[in-house]
Amino acid sequence: MAQRIGIAGKGGVGKTTLAGTLARLLARRGKKVLAVDIDPSPSLASAVGIPEEERKNLVPLSRMLDLIEERTGVRPGSSYGQMFKLNPKVDDLVDRYGVVAKDGVRLIVLGTIDLGGGGCFCPENALLKRLLRHLVLDRDEVLIMDMEAGVEHLGRGTAESVDVLIIVVEPGTKSIETAARIRKLAEDVGIGKVVAVLNKSLGKDDFTRSKLADIGIELVGSIPHKPCIIEADMNDIPPIDSEDCSEIVSAIEEIGEKLGLPD
């Protein structure tokens, strides 16, 4: 069963850990999973277990100037105001530029979609937004999107087909305030289901649950704060591959089950 899952939150809250672990857990259940990195600082490749040497060769599509020119007819930055294709061919890009990670997860790195306030009318955005629409609407697989704090790049129509947006928060007021802004953006583009996951939990979730309830967001689960995350990162090991992080992986598995993700 195809399902579209967006994961958002401010930098440093652990959304990439959640995205990568969920992707691999679902792949282990035999699901066809496509992980999409739309973060300005892409790091999902590490979370799905792609080795460092291979990660060095990954180039976000937003920086592939030759490809953008080939598909849209205009090279980024070459001529302001020049006409370009708004509906370029994108249905072959996952096969051409996707890489296979551990457990069979396929990863594609889009890079930043620059909104520039009112939206950047440029060829790179035309390609990336068309590709994102294709990934959400046309492909038959489980889609895990590691997103930046904003979600407006999805666009109405595309966003309406996202099954759930998970906002990752951490203990503290600032994180809740960011969640409120993301929820408002999600409503504006038509995402129907928005929930939260508390990362770095110290076992006292009542404050966060109450604050989230005040802004209309359900807390569907918590991921415990464990030093193993730092250790795993230092050793370039995804948490799912570290025996010391089994509690974290179990918590993420429970979150997936609560959300009714594909068995």
| Per-residue CA distances from 25 to 20, 98, 101, 212, 237 (Å) | 9, 19, 13, 27, 16
* Per-residue tokens: 168: 């990752």
pTM exceeds 0.85 for this model: yes
Q: Does domain 3-258 have CATH number 3.10.20.600?
A: no
Mean pLDDT per block of 10 residues along the chain (263 residues) reads: 88 90 96 92 91 93 94 81 84 97 97 57 85 93 89 82 95 91 92 95 90 95 94 94 96 94 73
In the chain, what are the domain boundaries?
Answer: 3-258
d(CA 148, CA 156): 17
| Total Cβ atoms within 10 A of residue 124 | 26
